[in-house]
Structure 1
Amino acid sequence: MSPTPTGSLSATADGRDLELARTLDVPVEEVWAWLTEPDKTARWIGRWSGAPGVGRTVRFAMTFEEGGFESDVTILACEPPRHLAVELGEEVGGWQLEVIVAEAGGGSTVTLLHHLDDGAALAEVGPGWEYYLDNLLAALAGRSPVQFADYYPAQSSYYAGLDGGAGSEAREA
């Protein structure tokens, strides 16, 4: 059984945003650690190295991607333990991402915003972020990583529908 996709797409003054959220049974500070400490990020998305700080660039290696890849990541905003905004290097298309952590009923909610460019293939991007957020949940619970095959291509049609039917052809163009 494939996980249910949860993302939504909204228009913004600069284009459109993909938004995904997860509710966690851990405090905001613990979630923040899993989003910012390299030994913890390595357990659900990838490892980073360098001297972090607003305006600085760190090197990020996505260790759960097939074949793996590395990219520079510029830190645009960092307001512990609630808000992190980054821009991934051109190796990934120069994506801009934000993560917002809020208290929620004794636990927390983590919200990922991907500020999409016109060429983003939502049918591929959406399932990828679903996978990584669920991988974060698995890591927090001490479970094995989730399987990407449960997300892609199973969730592609949902995300293509959010995007007005545009699928991976946006990336091929």
Structure 2
Amino acid sequence: MSPIPTGRLFPTGTGTDLVLSRTFRAPAEDVWASITESDRTARWFGPWEGEAAPGRTIKVQMAFEEQAPWFEMRIDACDPPRRLALSTSDASGDWRLELLLSEADGSTELRFVQHLAGEDGVGEIGPGWEYYLDLLVAARDGSPAPDFADYYPSMKDHFEAQATRG
């Protein structure tokens, strides 16, 4: 399989937004459950534990990564079933994410946004999110899980070519 990269970079006043989207033939509430309920996030990203609410921190497992590490993630905003904003910090920097849902005519678009301070590493970050969002698609429709080797390094140039690098 050779997935086609869909992610785009958009300059902002404070950096760059990496934006990817997927469309599902399902109501927003059902897609929302896939991105917020631990038993369902476990199918495509990893489970989470803790008391979820805006301003609170939960522990999330990256179940599809080597050694399946756990990390802390802060819930910055939660407006069901439309917007979830999350943030975390690790050795590679600060990660600010938004998952935005919009429903029309029986379909729901999920727009995933990572707010980047700079574009370093976008050649790795972009393919990673393409992979995870396709894992979400596979988990929802029961198709086989994608293989990360089909995403990286083949998609790296797609994302690096969009970087402005001033």
TM-score by length of structure 2 reads 0.94
Aligned counterparts of 2:113 and 2:65: Cα–Cα separation in 1: 20
Q: What residue in structure 1 maps to residue 115 of structure 2?
A: 115
The letter for the 2-side match of 1:17 is: D
**Corresponding position: 1:85 with 2:114:** no
Question: Is contact 1:52-1:75 (8 Å) kept?
Answer: yes
How many Å apart are 1:88 and its aligned residue? 1.7
Aligned counterparts of 1:143 and 1:91: Cα–Cα separation in 2: 34
How many Å apart are 1:145 and its aligned residue? 1.5
Aligned counterparts of 1:97 and 1:54: Cα–Cα separation in 2: 14
- The Cα offsets for residues 48-92 of structure 1, whole Å up to 9 and x where unpaired, read as 100000000000110001222221100000000000000023255
How many Å apart are 1:94 and its aligned residue? 2.1
Q: 1:35 to 1:91 in 2, by over 3 A?
A: farther
Aligned counterparts of 2:30 and 2:8: Cα–Cα separation in 1: 26
Q: How many residues end up aligned between the 2 structures?
A: 166
Q: What residue in structure 2 maps to residue 134 of structure 1?
A: 134
Residues 10-89 of structure 1: pairs in structure 2 closer than 5 A: 10-89=10-89
Aligned counterparts of 1:87 and 1:56: Cα–Cα separation in 2: 11
The letter for the 1-side match of 2:128 is: G
Aligned counterparts of 1:70 and 1:111: Cα–Cα separation in 2: 25
SS of 2:136 mapped into structure 1: helix
How many Å apart are 1:119 and its aligned residue? 5.9
How many Å apart are 1:13 and its aligned residue? 1.4
Aligned counterparts of 1:164 and 1:67: Cα–Cα separation in 2: 34
- The Cα offsets for residues 135-158 of structure 1, whole Å up to 9 and x where unpaired, read as 101000022321111111110011
Aligned counterparts of 1:163 and 1:67: Cα–Cα separation in 2: 31
Question: Is contact 2:119-2:165 (8 Å) kept?
Answer: no
- Aligned-pair Cα RMSD in Å: 1.6
Q: 1:86 to 1:92 in 2, by over 3 A?
A: farther
SS of 2:160 mapped into structure 1: helix
Greater shift after overlay, 49-58 or 104-113? Answer: 104-113
TM-score by length of structure 1 reads 0.91
SS of 2:115 mapped into structure 1: strand
The letter for the 1-side match of 2:106 is: G
Q: 1:117 to 1:12 in 2, by over 3 A?
A: same
The letter for the 2-side match of 1:106 is: G
